[in-house]
Structure 1
Amino acid sequence: MKHVTKADGSRQRFDRTKVRRTLENLGLRGEDADRIAGEIEASVPDGVRTAGVLRLIRTRARAVRPAVRHRTNLRRALALLRPKPDFEEFVRVLLREHGYRVETGCILAGRCGEHEVDAVAHRDGTTLFVEVKHHVSHHRMTGLDEGRIARAIVEDLQEGFRSGRCPVSIDGALIVCNTKLSEHAKRYAACRGIGQIGWDYPAEKNLRTMIEETQSYPVTIVSGVSPSVSARLAAAGFVTAKQVAYGDAGVIAHSSGLSLPETLLVAGRARAILEP
């Protein structure tokens, strides 16, 4: 049995599943991910540092898919987005990609007060208000508080609609976050009928799978994109790599204030990531 040594000096059992998951986050799938994970497990010495494993993962991944050199880990890319307005706009774009009609800039009146919500999303005859939660550290859990607050807002808005104060009939809430959800948060939301989308929750339609199904990667997936460049792109409405890769480079450069060479560089790397 092999072990890895973490940054704090502690040791834990080598987990091949984690290696495969990291390869998937870099865009590898199926047999390639399985094969490389097995090769890495067989080749590393007992006690190898996790940083060394990560370097080996990227090296092996680049040999199969050269575009990996242009790509940041997806969880890290999401964390690199500014919470407001970048990640909020990213979530709105992602929901539209999955068939929601999304309204923004919404202030809804409940019976007891007004509520500024991140979005109102409509699909299949259901109307939800959307609460977006972003953590800079993707290792941090999203906890119970968001669900309790969302439950209170739903009740107030529904009472506001019945009293004529709220023009929109809200059926429920949808919380979208870039991290994992605590077990307490999941139980409470399930009990109260609150929708939740976290990094790996729910199992079939979580944030990761929703992004990968539509290739709606954040623009920060492109390695070498500085915070100032991604902020300028987001301010101009370009929050996904797909928007930059296949948009009009001249329009993007003009609206974001970037030079045309800067824009073309990001667009080229984004296309390399998106295309087989």
Structure 2
Amino acid sequence: MSSKSNNKTFHVHKKSGEIAVFLPEKVRESLKRAGADSETINSIVAAVENELYDGISTKEIYNRAFRLLKKKNTLQASRYKLKKAIYELGPTGFPFERFIAAIFKNSGYEVEVGKILQGKCVTHEVDVIAEKDQKSLLIECKFHGTEGKKTDVKIPLYIDSRFRDIQNLKSGKLYDEGWVATNTVFTEDAVMYAKCCGLNLLSWNLPKGNSLKDRIDHTGLYPITVSVLLSAREKQFLLSRDVVLCKELINDKFYLDHLGVSEKRQKKILIEMKELCKGIQL
């Protein structure tokens, strides 16, 4: 992530294996996006820079900033960990599929998850079908449980062939667009191929201005895994019961009762969830 503390440039090991130069602006930007004020941002960046060493990992930088922010504001810490929280939707990809369906549903689409469609050659289980204003989308989801792993060209190649097989069934319904959604980023080849063949991509950073992180920030549709108040065991229990979104837990706190969460903790958790969900219809 060239910062020069004491005129020294520090190199950072990214999760992808790449090496980059540490840029404090990146830490500032992520803290600002989480809602932190200038004073908090300056103090956290200063603390992080004070502990830099050449070869530090982005994970160490993140963990340090996260711990400091959590001490100051747990709600902002929840927003700050959004990217990590998406990875925590695993280990299976099904919660991520439901999450993507919820993103499109919030934009006015009627959605179906895991529907079987007949193609010209074989049948296909489509992760998400979204329909609005006589426009229908086929959305395939590629979930990675390992941070730093990119979605390469093989995925849009495979999805494009499935989309074409479904479209080639002349007696079947024609779909307007094929989509690939991932919780990571696409390689350059994947982006080039998708652009060439007409596939739409949704990833952590694409499309610009309407990426996955942008859509979550704009809609307040945060996954329950962002919570800094729920334990890992509690999150996995909720995901196993198909409770993926914070707003779903607000609407049915029965699950917290079932988990044996005390009234005091329930109150704190629900306040956190409602703050995260501000501005959306519960």
- Which TM-score applies when normalising by structure 2? 0.79
- What's the counterpart of residue 76 of structure 1? 84
| Kept after mapping to 1: 8 A contact 2:24/2:45 | no
User: Given the alignment, which residue of 265, 270, 274 partners 1:271?
Assistant: 274
Matched with 2:252 is 248
Q: Trace 1:143-154 onto structure 2 (pairs within 5 A).
A: 143-154=152-163
Matched, 1:28 2:35: yes
Native 8 Å contact 1:115 1:153 kept in 2: yes
Across the two proteins, how many residue pairs are aligned to each other?
A: 265
CA deviations over 1:65-97 (Å, ceiling 9, x no partner): 453355661111000112332111111111111
Match of 1:40 in 2: 46
Matched residue type, 2:88: L
**Matched residue, 2:207:** 202
Q: In the TM superposition, what is the alpha-carbon distance from 1:101 to its structure 2 partner?
A: 1.5
1:38, 1:71 → 2: CA distance? Answer: 16
- Does the CA-based 8 Å contact 1:3-1:47 persist in structure 2? no
* Residues 239, 22 of structure 1: alpha-carbon distance in 2 compared, 3 angstrom cutoff: same
Residue 23 of structure 1, CA deviation: 1.4
Unaligned runs of 5+ in 2: none
Q: 1:75 touches 1:138 (CA, 8 Å); kept in 2?
A: no
Letter in 1 for 2:23: D
Q: 1:189 aligned to 2:194?
A: yes
Amino acid of the structure 2 residue aligned with 1:57: A
Measured after TM superposition, the shift of residue 121 of structure 1 is 0.9
Q: Deviations over 1:212-243 (max 9, x none)?
A: 11111110001253444223322333201222
Unmatched 5+ stretches in structure 1 = none
Q: TM-score, normalised by structure 1?
A: 0.81
The one-letter code sitting in structure 2 at the alignment partner of 1:221 is: V
- SS across alignment from 2:196: helix
Q: For the structure 1 residues 180 and 78, does the alpha-carbon distance in structure 2 shift closer, same or farther, using more than 3 Å as the test?
A: same
The change in CA–CA distance for 1:84 and 1:264 in structure 2 (over 3 A counts) is farther
Mapped pair 1:238 → 2:243 = yes
Structure 1: distance between partners of 2:277 and 2:32:
14
| 1:174-199 per-position Cα deviation (integer Å, ceiling 9, x unaligned) | 11100011010001001111011011
The equivalences for 1:40-59 within 5 A come to 40=46, 44=50, 47=53, 49=56, 53-54=61-62, 57-58=65-66
Aligned partner of 1:89 among 87, 98, 117: 98
Tell me the distance in 2 between the aligned counterparts of 1:220 and 1:67: 13
Deviation, 1:55, is 5.4
1:217 is matched with 222
Q: Distance in 1 between matches of 2:73 and 2:186?
A: 31
Partner deviation per Cα, 1:139-195 (whole Å, 9 max, x = no partner) = 1101111111111112111111x1x2x3x3212211110001101000100111101
The answer to whether residue 12 in structure 2 is matched with residue 3 in structure 1 is no
Change over 3 Å in CA distance of 1:218–1:111 after alignment to 2: same
AA aligned opposite 1:137: T
Task: Tell me the CA shift for residue 206 of structure 1.
Answer: 0.6
Cα 1:46–1:153, aligned 2, differ >3 Å: closer, same or farther? Answer: closer
Distance of aligned partners of 1:69 and 1:175 in 2 relative to their CA distance in 1, 3 Å threshold: closer
> What is the aligned partner in structure 2 of residue 169 from structure 1?
174
Aligned partner of 1:259 in structure 2 is 260
State the SS of the aligned residue for 2:125.
Answer: strand
- Aligned counterparts of 1:11 and 1:206: Cα–Cα separation in 2: 25
Q: Is 2:124 aligned against 1:119?
A: no
Q: Report the alpha carbon displacement of residue 265 of structure 1 after superposing the two structures with TM.
A: 5.3
